[in-house]
Amino acid sequence: MPAISFQNVSKTYRGGQVKALDGVSFDIAQGEFFGLLGPNGAGKTSLISILAGLSQASGGRVLVQGQDVVSDFAAARRALGIVPQELVFDPFFNVREALRFQGGYFGVHNNEAWIDELLENLGLADKANANMRQLSGGMKRRVLVAQALVHRPPVIVLDEPTAGVDVELRQTLWQFIARLNREGHTVLLTTHYLEEAEALCGRIAMLKQGRVVALERTSELLKGRASTMLRFKTDATLPESLAAQARMTGRIVQIKAHDAAEVETILTKLRAANCPVEDLEIGRADLEDVFLEIMQEEEQDKGVRA
């Protein structure tokens, strides 16, 4: 049985004018650390909201641990620990009370040892009696993570958990989540930080305009694509033949090369054009390169279909 099963899920808004999800189907197996990536507006939040039972799909269905998120809402919801994007909390509780209350909501009581472990692992031990109002944004986010985990859900969903979060919390969070994953919890992560997804996720789905445009093991996704990137800085204008294939961020230029011979060709073209380069590096393509490439291919395909 998959931990999560998305079956032909669609979602439209405004009476069908906006198609946020268009037949999304994939399964996440028990124990996977799975990444859901996509540019703004791709449909990630819509998919997570349907999974969490916060919004209804317009078509298709979603199962969590075999339970339908609509017809078996309570069982499906209990199997999920969801760390939301937004900071929502009850200002009248202190941290420990907030965790007890959340546990009670799922019928979990006498849970103090686990609550202590959560506080300890998320760097909240000295904040246990602090009122939620007094916490900094980063500390509130830690509490949200603890709240999501308080009923020991088998499936953990992290929706952009590190947006605007400092390095220390990111590391604390990832160490803890990675441990829970090793202990058998399934993790679904949506993120804009590609290096995070690359480091953590065993498999990745990429969404674009409501459709799955890639679904692969992270290593395959990286291996099957451009394997080499040439990176350098320049103030000069690139020769036209290179400009077409380059990605430019200010003075930084990145050009994809399939093999060593292509690297040489690129360097020869730069020299022939008298294009001075600084800080030249030749490196492996990372997930960001692959992501951009897939998104561009989709644009081109659409152009062909149109």
| Token duo for residue 27 | 């399964």
Q: Does residue 43 bind ligand ATP (CB under 6 A)?
A: yes
Residue number, nearest CB to ligand ATP:
45
* Candidate residues 45, 65, 94, 186; the one interacting with ligand ATP per rule CB under 6 A: 45
Binding to ligand ATP by residue 42, rule CB under 6 A? yes
- Judged by CB, which is closer to ligand ATP: 43, or 81? 43
Nearer to ligand ATP, 20 or 255 (CB): 20
- Residues belonging to the chain: 306
By beta-carbon proximity to ligand ATP, the closer residue of 43 and 161 is 43
Contacts of 69-77 with C-beta under 8 Å, sequence gap 24+, read 77/52, 77/53
Total of chain residues touching ligand ATP, rule CB under 6 A: 12
Whose Cβ is closer to ligand ATP: residue 53's or residue 103's? 53
Q: Is 13 in the site for ligand ATP (CB under 6 A)?
A: yes
- Determine phi and psi for 248, rounding to 5 degrees: -115, 130
**By CB under 6 A, residue 105 contacts ligand ATP:** no
Looking at 1, 15, 16, 40, which residue binds ligand ATP (CB under 6 A)? 40
Is 38 an interacting residue with respect to ligand ATP (CB under 6 A)?
yes
Tokens 């220390």 label which residue? 168
Does position 46 bind ligand ATP by CB under 6 A? yes
23 makes contact with ligand ATP (CB under 6 A): no
Q: How far is CA 208 from CA 50, 187, 240, 270, in A?
A: 17, 21, 30, 35
What is the helix (H) or strand (E) element at residue 253, kind and residue range?
A: strand 252-257
* Residue among 189 and 229 whose Cβ is closer to ligand ATP: 189
Q: Which of these ranges, 44-52, 97-105, 112-120, 173-181, lies near ligand ATP under the rule CB under 6 A?
A: 44-52
CA 102 to chain centre: 25
CA 255 to chain centroid:
26
Closer Cβ to ligand ATP, 214 or 257, answer by number: 214
The H or E element containing residue 284 is strand 278-284
By the rule CB under 6 A, 84 interacts with ligand ATP: no
CB 250 within 8 A of CB 235: no
Residue from 2, 23, 41, 138 touching ligand ATP (CB under 6 A): that is 41
| Whole-angstrom distance, CA of residue 104 vs CA of residue 151 | 9
One DSSP character per residue, 16-37 reads: TTEEEEEEEEEEE-TT-EEEEE
Q: What is the token pair recorded at 73?
A: 């809402």
Q: Which stretch binds ligand ATP (CB under 6 A): 40-48, 147-155, 175-183, 292-300?
A: 40-48
Binding footprint of ligand ATP on the chain (CB under 6 A): 13-14, 18, 20, 38, 40-46
